[in-house]
Amino acid sequence: MALLLSMLSVWWGYLDSCRASQADGERAVLQLMAVLRRPAAAAAASGNRPLAAEVVASLTSSDLVRYARLTGRNGLDVRAGLSRHQLRHWLALPSPSASGEASGWLEVEPDLPRMAEQARLNAWHAGLLLAGQALIVALTVYLAASGLVSRPLAGLSSRLHRILPGSSERLSLRARLRGSELKRLTDDINGLLNTVQMVVNIERGLREHLRLLEKRFRGVFEHAGVAILLMDGNGKLLLSNPAFRLLLGREVAPDEQGEWIPELLLQPQRLWLRADESRRSGAPMAEDLQTGRGWLHAIVSACLDDDGRQLYQCLFYDISERKASEEVMRRMADYDHLTGVYSRLAGEQLLTRRVAQAAASHHSLAVMMLDLDHFKLINDSYGHEAGDAVLKEVARRLRALLVQDELLVRLGGDEFMVVLSGGEAVPRAVALAGQMLEAAAAPIALGPERQARVGASIGIAFYPEHGDTASDLRCNADRGMYEVKRRGRNDYAIFSGKRQDVPPKVDADD
């Protein structure tokens, strides 16, 4: 770069020197003409040819003048040199008189080629001088830069390339360079190497930590008692653990697109519904799903892979035992533990639901309240175990008389409720009441040689004639039952519509 700039400088100096030399030559010719102006004017005014020849010879004796001519009065015309008909300078010669007229003319033609050659020669000498000076400066700069910057930098770069990332090796400088700017550069590079070593050590520690975590996670994943899987939107398994394969009972082929889902679940669409909800909400969704062998609690989480593909993470817990326990608890809550029919709480809830359904479908509904006659005598004569046997047998007989969707509820003690719904509820209730009276009156065996007999009092109320709520229907059917008690028991009565604020008194044995 220094040499290039020097050459440009020399070339510019050469051109400038040429122009300056030519301008100097022009000025020298004009100055020579000005010097010889007076004798030339005298020769032109007097017509003195020898003087004119001397003036012209003086002009052409200069290396700068190629041709000269002096003209004046009396036909004076003196010439010298060889003209090329190039640029000429004209100088008017004043007259000695005060008239102001010119007494003659001095014509001079400069030797332009010689002036140009001289200018080039002078410029070349000056250019060589500048070139030598530039070469010396460039060489000095090169040696200084090479010795103080380039070579030390190349050495630092070479040693830096040999240093492995994370190693403890560092750069060093020669003693003569420790006071230069390279010392600061070396210190900065060593500082970066220290930082790189620290980062590499941290990364190695993190990599080892991640390896241990991955190993532990793989151990947890492989030995987990919970079935874990990752699938795409078509149900294709991308990852699964042994617990899932044990749950399914087989290995899943790599090209399967979700055939395992209906094979495992009785209602596979519920799994997809939870998966879609998780995708839309961004939160995990849970659902209890039934299989052919039990129940699974599923947790579905939607996620995206690095390519933006929709995936789903699924966890399956076997909750068959919990569901069985819940079913036992539900039956204990919904069914009477002695007779096996619906309990009072479940019966009241079912009656309320049936009344709402009847109102929506505009169908009839019948509520029958049944109370056993002389049941207290059984307990007092044979004990409560015998009474429990009578209740179970009566419940069995009543349940045998009912068809699908007809409810039998034990309200407590020896009191039962039957709920009939549908368009034929009214005639069905009347016909069923007679059958129930016969079933309750039949002898009940309490032992090898012991029997018990009970009867039944039944009250009936219809929806909507006798009430439009569950409590009204129960209350009015109860009033019909107490009406039978008043008449002598072992019969049935349909609520008459007459309100009785206080139930009638019955015998103590009831």
DSSP 316-376: EEE-HHHHHHHHHHHHHHHB-TTT-SB-HHHHHHHHHHHHHHHHHHT--EEEEEEEEETHH
Q: Which residue has the higher pLDDT, 372 or 215?
A: 372
What local confidence, expressed as pLDDT, does residue 70 receive?
A: 87
pLDDT band at 506 (very low <50, low <70, confident <90, very high): very low
Q: Which residues does residue 373 pair with via DSSP β-bridges, in sequence order?
A: 455
Tens-digit pLDDT profile for residues 101-121: 788 888 888 877 877 787 778
Alpha helices in 61-150 (DSSP H): 112-145
| Residue 502 clears pLDDT 50, i.e. is over it | no
Burial class (CB in 10 A: 0-12, 13-18, 19+), 148: middle
> pTM here?
0.45
3-class state of residue 390 by DSSP: helix
Measured CA to CA, the distance from residue 405 to residue 178 in angstroms comes to: 103
Domain with CATH 3.30.450.20 in the chain: 224-323
pLDDT confidence tier of residue 162, bands split at 50, 70 and 90: confident
Give the per-residue pLDDT at 164: 82
Q: Which fold has domain 335-494?
A: Alpha-Beta Plaits (3.30.70)
What tokens appear for 505 in the block?
A: 């008194």
Instruction: Indicate whether 142 pLDDT > 50.
Output: yes
pLDDT, greater one: 51 or 127: 51
Per-residue model confidence (pLDDT) at position 391: 95
pLDDT digits over 171-200, tens only?
A: 877 766 666 777 788 888 888 888 888 888
117-131: average pLDDT? 78
Q: What pLDDT digit, counting tens, does each position of 57-109 carry?
A: 988 888 888 888 888 877 888 888 887 777 678 888 887 765 667 888 888 88
Two structure tokens written together for 153:
């930098």
Tell me the C-alpha distance between 418 and 407, whole Å.
5
Domain limits, CATH 3.30.70.270, in the chain: 335-494
- Sheet containing strand 365-373, strands side by side: 407-412, 415-421, 365-373, 455-463, 491-494
**What is the CATH T-level fold of the domain 2-117, as seen in this structure?**
Beta-Lactamase (3.30.450)
Average pLDDT, the chain: 86
Q: What is the CATH number of domain 224-323?
A: 3.30.450.20
Predicted confidence band at 393 (pLDDT cuts at 50, 70, 90)? very high
Contact 462, 494 (CB under 8 A): yes
Write out the DSSP string of 14-54.
HHHHHHHHHHHHHHHHHHHHHHTHHHHHHHHHHT-HHHHHH
